[in-house]
Amino acid sequence: MVAKKLKTKKQITTNETSPPAPVLTESGRTVAYSDAIFSIALTLMALEIKIPSPEQIGTKNLLVALGEAWPAYLSFLISFMIITVVWTNHHTIFRYVKYVDHNLTILNNLLLLNIIIIPFCSEMLGEYILLGNDNSKIAALIYGGWVALGGIPFNLVWRYGVKKEYLRNPEASLAEIEVISKHFIKGPYIYSFVTLLAFINVWLSIAGFVILILMYLVPTTWLFRKRKPA
């Protein structure tokens, strides 16, 4: 009888000292909130494309005036595609991550902070890209550096989510996760390299970003295609 009481007391003590279980929620709300932030970022960029006023045009033809604003269109297009790439791969993350805890929410918000600042960097790039001086180089470095920096929280969201078994989708393939992890981790390094090309030539850096957009826009399912025997 005494032994039974001691055992019960030991169990109570263990329960009191054990860490609390993490509070989990399904990822649907996080994805919906993230989608809203992505949409806001894209809208902000579209609003920054200004229509030239009659006072600015003067005696110029409207089509000519619109054509002179092509750097703004280019920076918008590149930024639109970069955000689209991140959004697409963000949905890939939450196909493999079913639940969200406090830590994952914080990491995801750091990623969204990066996304919402891209319109600011995009407008600056479009404004300074044609100057051909140190300011155009600085604008390209700030733009590329901010995009490259976003790869850090993106990879943290992915790796934290798939590493924790209680967050991971129970139907997720560990082999697929390993392949995707190797694909995602290259992003920050390659984007940083392309950004540094601006020290050589700003347009070389921009061309590199276009290539990277095409590279990371490829569906992750293509990574799992098996080679057909010859």
Tens digit of pLDDT per residue, the chain (230 long)?
A: 444 444 454 454 444 555 555 667 788 899 999 999 999 999 888 887 777 777 777 777 878 877 877 888 888 888 999 999 999 999 999 999 999 999 999 999 999 999 999 999 988 888 888 887 889 999 999 999 999 999 999 999 999 999 998 899 999 889 999 999 998 999 899 999 999 999 999 999 999 888 888 877 776 666 666 544 44
Query: From CA 210, how far away is CA 219, in angstroms rounded?
Result: 17
* Dihedral sign computed on CA atoms, order 163, 225, 26, 147: positive
Spatial contact of 49 and 181, defined as CB atoms under 8 Å apart: no
Tell me the H-state helices in 18-57.
Answer: 28-47, 54-57
Q: What is the predicted pLDDT for the residue at 178?
A: 92
Burial of residue 139, with CB atoms counted within 10 A of its CB: 0-12 exposed, 13-18 middle, 19 or more buried: buried
pLDDT of residue 2: 45
Instruction: Give the β-pairing of 99-100 and 25-26.
Output: antiparallel
- Going from N- to C-terminal start, the domains of the chain cover 24-220
Amino acid sitting at position 104: L
- Asked if residue 108 lies in contact with residue 34, where contact means CB atoms within 8 angstroms, the answer is yes
pLDDT at 154: 96
pTM for the predicted model, two decimal places: 0.81
Q: Which residues on adjacent β-strands are paired with residue 26?
A: 99
Which pLDDT score, from 0 to 100, does residue 60 have?
Answer: 75
